[in-house]
Every structure is written in C-alpha cells, then in structure tokens.
Structure 1
Amino acid sequence: MWRGLYIAASGMITETKHTDMIANNLANASTTGYKRDDMAIREFEPMLLRRINDNSADTKVTSFKGFRVEGNRAPIVGTLGLGSAVDEIATEHLQGAMQTTGNTYDFAISGQGYFVVNTIDGPRYTRDGGFYRSTNGTLLNMRGQEVLSSRGRSIRIPENAQRVNVSSDGRIYADGAEVAQLGFVQFAGKNAVIKQGDNLYRPQEGARPQQATGTIEQGMLEMSNTSIVTEMVELINNYRVYEAGSKAVQTQDTLLDKAVNDVGRTS
C-alpha cells in the first residue's frame, strides 16, 4: 500500500511540472521569437510480478484451462509500474510566423540563426529581433542590452542617418555606407544552446558559434511558435491525468486506513 502511494504521488509531481511548462508556453504565446518547450516523461523500471504459492503445476489455480508452469517457477502476473519522472524538457525550434511591422530596427530570422546581445554574464543569443536606436546611436534590445556586431562590439548608427537598411546577412547600411554587421550565428545541433530566461539562450559547454545559414528580414518580427489551442488541449489532458493520480492516492489512503483500523483491530 505504501508503494501505491509513492507511485501515484510521483505521477502527480510529474504532472505538476508538466502544468508549469504548459503555463510558461501559454504566457509566452505572444513573445517575439519564443520557442515552446515540450516534456519527455520516463517510467521508473517496472517490477515483474509472479503469483505466490503457485510453484506446483498440479495445483487447481495453475491448471486452469490447461495452463502449466514451466519448471518450478511461479506463473507471471505481469509488470507493475513504479512511478514516473521528468526525463527532459526540450525546446522546439520550429519557425514562428512572420509579422510585418515596418519598423526600421525590427528584424526577423528566417531559418537558423540567433542575434548576439551583451549581458552581465557575457554574450547571449536570442531570436527576438525587436531592437531600437538609443539617444547616442547604440543599437539596443527591449531590455536595454547592447546588440553586438560580428566582431563582438556594440553597434552605433549615425545620428544624422536618414535611411538605414539591413541586408539578408546582417550588414547594416546608413545612407548607403556600411557601418557594421549584426552578430548572426548558429550552433551545430539543436541542443547546443539552452534557455537562460528573458528570451535568451546560453551555449552548452564546448558549443562554438558559427556563421548562420538563415536570412534576416528587416521590418518584420518572428512570432512565438506556440499554438494556444494545442497548449489548452494538452493542459486539459494534463489535468485529467493529475486527477486520476489524486484519486489513486485517495484510494490507497482509504485502503491503508481500513488495514490499520479494521483488519488490524484486535478483539
């Protein structure tokens, strides 16, 4: 009975974490460049169950409908699951929808690639291309962090520039003259970068950036690849699984109560 409580409780804990992940996806359904997360759940090693006191093939139980036991081993009942746990939370790097804004400093990435921004922890990477030019001409993201060039330096747009254009590979032109090139990189393997928070990614140990193969679209933003309908359906299913685990815990608790107070009662 104690095992049943732990098995059901482990499933409830797993589904609680699953709910948190779905809630985060829904909260970022309108976040520029956000990539939804998905969860892989693993089962604990199952236990093989056999009937007890059925070691003889001549007993009535094991002889039922011609059933026989091989050797002296008890017949197999089946396997018993021992709970579940979160195996991995993976990020889906599918392309989000493009939205035209017409703003000069809005950039969307089509294909693979990340912009590079400077943080207190060092260079970090993002798909959010909603930038703006500060009063001194520095190109910043919406959190006030500097957008870095391909040389790892801050980018300054001349204050008197009338027309700013960006090529598909990130070269910035002010009135026809090239002033810098956006840091535009990618990594080998989808798991080379992990989420840090604030729509930023940090590289895994040993991961090295290389020139991105995607293209940059000026005057556009990449939307989140989260589908609200899909997440809501998954949330409802998640709730039902959690509810089933809750009822299993209540059932186990009732059985334990009867075992202690009724079966174990002495006259």
Structure 2
Amino acid sequence: MLRGMYTAAGAMQALQRQQEMFSNNLANVRTPGYRADSASLRTFPEMLISQTAVNERTGARMKSTVGTIATGVYLQSATPNFALGSVTETGNKTDLQLMSDGGVPLFMVRHGDPLTGELEEEVTYSTNGQFNVGIDGLLRTSEGDLVLGEDGQTLNVGSEDFTVRGDGQVTDADGEVVGQLGIRVTNLPETLERLGGSRFGATEETEFSDVNEVNVRQGFLELGNVSVEETMAHMNAALRQFEANQKVIQAYDRTAEKAVTEVGRLR
C-alpha cells in the first residue's frame, strides 16, 4: 500500500515540474529567439521480484520468479528545441536574424551583471536578435548582454543608424567598418547548456562549424518557437494525470483508514 502511495506521489512531483516547464515556455512566447524546453516522463528501472519456498518433502529451497514491479516515474532533463521560430519583418535596423542551411547559428555575447555592470570573462551564445544601442554606443541584446565581434571584442556602432551586411560585416552611420558580427554555428545544439532566457553556454561536447553558410538579415526578427496551442494541450493532459494520481492517493488513504479503524478493531 505504501509503495503505491509513494509511486503516485512521485508521479505528482514529476508532473508538477513538467507544468512549471510548460508555464515557463508560455511566459516566453513573445521573447525573441526563445527556444522552448521539452521533456518527457520516464519510468525508473523495474524491479524483479522472486520468492523462495521450501520443499516439505525434501527440504530443498526453491527460488521462482514472481514478476516485475514498477518503481515510479521521473521527468527527464529539459532539452531546448532549436527549431526555427516565427520570423517577422520589423524594419528596425537593430533587429537581426540569422539564416543557416546547416546547423544552428548563434550570436556571440558576453553577459554582464545588471547591478554592478561587471562582465563575465566567458563568451556565451544567444539566439536573441533583438538588439539596442546604449549611450556608450555598444551593441547589446534586449536582455542586456553585450554583442561581440568575430574577434571577441564589443561592437561600438555609435548609434542605431548602423548597417549589417549579409556576411555579418558591421558599418556605422558614416559607412566605416566597425567590425564583423560574431557568429557561431553548431550541429550539436543538444550539447548547449541553457544559462537563462535565450542565452546558452558551450560544453565540452559542443563543436562549432564553419559560418560561411550563415546569412544575416537586418530588419527581421525571429520570435520564440513556442506553440501556444500545443503547450496548452500538454498542460491540460498533465493536469488530468495529476488529478488521477491524486485520486489514487485518496483511495489508498481511505483504505489505510479502514485498516486502522475497522480491521484492527477489537471485537
């Protein structure tokens, strides 16, 4: 009985975490470049049950297999879906979209502390192409990260009247070249680690390929790839499963109450 209660309670915890993941996806529907998380419920390895009996005639111990028993479910690690999101033409020079025939293209960025302004040394990567220009003339993402050039340095474009060619070359309002947009392409996006929002970090398994096949489109913006209808359907299904496990626990609770108050009562 207790095993059944533990199994149902474990499933409710996994479903709750799954709902939190879906809710986070919905909250980022309009976040530029956001990649929706996805994860499925998986079962723990089953346990093999066997029994040992004694032969009354010979006294020999005999072992036989009864069967298997499930040990519950868990939510596997959330994996971002790097499918292309919806693309809209904004006409804003600060909006950039990356197109690639092979692999997933990423902007090179450097994250800074919003309170102290201190920059991290490690280069990270972003799918967010909605940029802005600060009073210092530096190009930043809408999340506040500094956009880097191919050389790993910040890009000072001066004002919002800058131009980005299809190959990533950046020129200011006077037509002077200020740098080359830092872009990386990976064919193993599943190896990237989400650091928050649309920012990712490379791991030891991450490999970057040639960026020659990447095309930069200025005035276009890629939105998040969250499907509202599909996410809502998954949330409703998870809610029904949560309620079903809740009823299982209530049934076990009533059974336990009868075992204590009725079966165990002295006549």
TM-score (norm 2): 0.83
Unaligned runs of 5+ in 1: 56-71
Give the structure 2 partner of residue 101 of structure 1. Answer: 90
Give the structure 2 partner of residue 187 of structure 1. Answer: 186
Residue 151 of structure 1 aligns to a residue whose secondary structure is coil
Give the structure 2 partner of residue 200 of structure 1. Answer: 199
Counterpart-to-counterpart distance in 2, 1:230 and 1:206: 31
Give the structure 1 partner of residue 266 of structure 2. Answer: 266
Residue 20 of structure 1 aligns to a residue whose secondary structure is helix
Counterpart-to-counterpart distance in 2, 1:158 and 1:10: 55
2:106 matches 1:114: yes
Give the structure 2 partner of residue 171 of structure 1. Answer: 169
Cα deviations by residue, 1:198-220 (Å, 9 ceiling, x for unpaired) = 32111113535444343221101
| Identical-residue share of aligned pairs (%) | 29
Counterpart-to-counterpart distance in 2, 1:22 and 1:145: 25
Give the structure 2 partner of residue 68 of structure 1. Answer: none
Q: Provide closer, same or farther for how the CA distance between residues 260 and 31 of structure 1 changes in structure 2, counting only shifts above 3 A.
A: same
Counterpart-to-counterpart distance in 1, 2:140 and 2:242: 44
Counterpart-to-counterpart distance in 1, 2:261 and 2:24: 44
Contact map agreement 1:113 1:186 (CA 8 A) in 2: yes
Give the structure 1 partner of residue 27 of structure 2. Answer: 27
Give the structure 1 partner of residue 58 of structure 2. Answer: none
Using the TM superposition, give the Cα deviation of residue 49 of structure 1 relative to its aligned residue in structure 2, in angstroms: 6.2
Counterpart-to-counterpart distance in 1, 2:76 and 2:157: 46
Two-structure CA RMSD over aligned residues (Å) = 2.5
The count of corresponding residues between Structure 1 and Structure 2 is: 248
Q: How does 1:11-160 map to 2 (within 5 A)?
A: 11-47=11-47, 79-111=68-100, 112-119=104-111, 120-121=119-120, 122-158=122-158
Using the TM superposition, give the Cα deviation of residue 109 of structure 1 relative to its aligned residue in structure 2, in angstroms: 1.6
Counterpart-to-counterpart distance in 1, 2:52 and 2:8: 25
Counterpart-to-counterpart distance in 1, 2:157 and 2:76: 46
Residue 240 of structure 1 aligns to a residue whose secondary structure is helix
Asked which structure has the greater CA Rg, the reply is: 1
Whichever residue aligns with residue 114 of structure 1, its letter is L
TM-score (norm 1): 0.83
Q: Provide closer, same or farther for how the CA distance between residues 191 and 156 of structure 1 changes in structure 2, counting only shifts above 3 A.
A: same
Counterpart-to-counterpart distance in 1, 2:2 and 2:27: 38
Contact map agreement 1:157 1:179 (CA 8 A) in 2: yes
Greater shift in the superposed pair: 81-90 or 244-253: 81-90
Whichever residue aligns with residue 171 of structure 2, its letter is Y
Using the TM superposition, give the Cα deviation of residue 168 of structure 1 relative to its aligned residue in structure 2, in angstroms: 2.1
Contact map agreement 1:133 1:140 (CA 8 A) in 2: yes
Contact map agreement 2:29 2:225 (CA 8 A) in 1: yes
